[in-house]
Structure 1
């Protein structure tokens, strides 16, 4: 049986989120991150369902009352209590593939908190915990390989876009060579072409240059990417070199990709210790008929929305303010994992 990694624009059953623990890293910003997650849910339930893992029953009951007050239909929202470490569903959520007959399979890769930087044992068990709770309508297959969803992008037709800094980092799979990594993801994802970015990073990023902070497929022939046009910014050289790499990449037919440059927001700094935060417009989320776009209260927000509107002419563009999200070094896409058609149990389809 062969499998194919699904692109984000594949039709979806729902969206997965992980609600923050009251005593976790978000404690000092809890009301702010909850408000952002509420906005994501309210935008998403217009188009599909949402599955949220909850850290405890008290939080679950409180959040349920909140969304009841917002008027969210009960069948649109599934809340499951399961132990978690943090909120980054993109990296601890399942990665979806389909077989030759279109039947989905959820791949549960090992999550180590981005190479052992942060506790991750509960998050690493979450996909199976949701399986035990009856959330998934399809099988789950565990993998020993360390891999996060934010590290990979696909066109859905056998091409993978990723970064050397993450996938070849010795803090992930030190025993694997580049050829080993390509062979493993080739088997799991039906990938026969890997586009490796050797440049590009964001200060304040804990992920070792996840590609979803830098460059994203919008469709099989179009890649949106962050472009820094400030010669004095410390990111300029690396991102300019990354831009040249993207221009040199070719589609399977030999044609260059259509590239959509995304604007560079003004530098954002943590108000407590002053370190730079990883604000990026590449961290957008594609759902059914809409694209959720992170914004930062920056003049470049409007430019980013305009650029992505051209890349997604058949989608509604929904801004989600993410200034609080980057305080914990991620953004909108990092908080979410799309769940393709056929992955959610039929008891949740109403």
Structure 2
């Protein structure tokens, strides 16, 4: 039994959503899980994964039209759960592709931009990234220094973006820049003169993922490259909420996998002539982890229901991300202790999950910022400054 069956959570799911979850789980078990520890150690991810995930139908799966599946919010969340149960880097690729790059075009792009990019991004033929964070501006994106200036009928962009997932692979980057009229979004295709990327090496987390710096030096773009419906900082923030929703489920996946491998190990590891699963302290650890996973899953499903009804609010997403990521890190660390010294080996997943979750805790809103978002909602007083 695991934390989900303990609470009979599968009975809460629609059959079509369970089918999508099972399809994603089978693909990952066959193609990704056997290799992900090697990719993590090598600090690399095979590019052909993009096409495979496109054929699986998970890239932009919650969007409609233009080759996207139009799946439910719950189905998308369950896919994120299965992806992150294997590795946060895999889920991050899918989140950035679908909920940041594709969503920004789907929500704020012109019809021509949608037709040009969305089918290719959905299939994995093209890869996208989302350039908002800068070296000196993460939690305060309104202070971004990247600037877009009108010159005749064109725009000229200068600036630097940092910690950009998929950046080194991206065929198109959604780049956010300050203008005289506020924040605007631009589609920057790879190969545009003045646009370059540099992959970030030496990571201790998210190693099975491409993370890059974007550099824009007098990048000249036509007016047709601007996202016409993105007219304020609210546009990129709404994209981040789409991605954060996937994290709410993804974190549960990392915690669930950590629990499962620790439980299985405890049943076979013998000390003092009996499996360590028979000891009270180990059972207490497993019980506490199971409660954290089950509670996180119930919260995720509740938020999915709100999203499907069109009433999900940003502070509710903050509650989900803050709770589930912090809980998942605690579960992964506790699970690692059950393995003793063996737990630091890549043979077992909990410490890899814990390392990855350190990044998840920070990106798309740090835990501190999400706590302040909740404080703002609860008191009516913004304490960001």
TM-score normalised by L of structure 1: 0.28
Per residue, is there more strand in 1 or in 2? 1
Relative contact order, higher structure (CA 8 A, sep 6+): 1
**Greater Rg over alpha carbons, structure:** 2
TM-score normalised by L of structure 2: 0.27
